[in-house]
Amino acid sequence: MIQSRRALPPLNALRAFEASGRRLNFRAAAEELGVTQGAIAQQVRALEDQLGLRLFQRQPRGLALTAQGAAYLSDVTRAFDMLGEATGRLFARPETVTISVTPTVAAKLLIPRLAEFYSALPEVDLRTVATEALADFDRDQVDIAVRLTGQAFPATLEARLLFRQELVAVASPHLVKGLTLPLSREELCKLPLLHDSHDRWGMFLAIREKLPGAAFNHTTLALDAALAGQGVVLACRAFVMADLEAGRLVQVTDETAAVGADYFLVRKRSPSPRKAVDAVWDWCAAQLSLA
């Protein structure tokens, strides 16, 4: 039967016994625990009285454990070791930092670099929230955000430019196989065009009427369709750089377009920011920035 925790000996008495058992000397145990020798002796006597047995044999020059005391010391020492290990694990747990990003930033910039992130910051648990909605740092418990905006930031926020939004038209090399690149505007309009929620083809091609083509509510989906050879997509260069370098996509026209809104790293100003948040901020500024 497990003894009720209310019937267990006081923790101070167990500490006094454990230190005395290891050192076999009340004076040495008192120095280790920072109390008087008399306090140690009193705690051990109280423990022996509560247990109804002798744990030590008092000798002129120290202590000797009884058979029952030696067995008890082994168990008590193991229990203190477990408590120490549990406390150590508590402080060794990674600290969670929450970052809010758009789905495209998550898929194209952050997720491909997660291995690098955890190699650089193993002490941090990164929680990624992918959403188009603007994060409220307090309500949503967000530490850092990556956001697309053309507006000035209030004084309560710290912001750092990551990259300008330069739009390029890209497609799978299989889609334009046999065609001479770069394509003219007329040649481009003959290919299937893929639309995301921003739908900037009209602006890019200086055409007012609605252009046909498959439409997606996220840029990542339109990019996936382009990678599958389904059409040409208009995307921020930062999101397709890796695919362009790997040859999975090709830029089909030399024309580009700059959009007023750009991508920023944002966080709430704080007089005493957490070290983990600072570390993630610095990593994002270095690894995600093209500015």
The pLDDT of residue 5: 58
- DSSP alpha helices (H): ranges in 93-161? 103-105, 114-120
**What's the pLDDT at 102?**
92
Tell me the C-alpha distance between 35 and 48, whole Å.
Answer: 19
pTM, two decimal places:
0.66
Q: Which CATH number fits domain 166-258: 3.30.70.20, 3.40.50.1380, 3.10.310.10, 3.40.190.10?
A: 3.40.190.10
Report the C-alpha dihedral over residues 238, 239, 245, 246, rounded to 10 degrees: 170
Task: Return the DSSP state at 215.
Answer: B
Query: What 3-state DSSP class applies to 253?
Result: strand
The pLDDT > 90 percentage for the chain reads: 77
CATH 1.10.10.10 residue window(s) in the chain: 5-92
Angle at 275 between CA 272 and CA 276, to 5 degrees: 130
CB 288 within 8 A of CB 110: yes
* pLDDT value at residue 260: 80
Give the separation between CA 21 and CA 73, rounded to whole angstroms: 7
- Which of the residues in the chain have pLDDT under 50? 1-2
Q: Under 8 Å CB-to-CB from 33, ≥6 apart: which residues? A: 15, 16, 19, 40
Task: Classify 5-92 by CATH class.
Answer: mainly alpha
The domain at 95-163+262-287 falls in which architecture?
A: 3-Layer(aba) Sandwich (3.40)
| Side-chain-side CA neighbours of residue 247 (13 Å) | 2
Residues of the chain with CATH 3.40.190.10: 95-163+262-287, 166-258
| 217: CB partners within 8 A, 6+ apart | 196, 197
What is the spatial distance between Cα 225 and Cα 243, in angstroms, rounded to a whole number?
Answer: 13
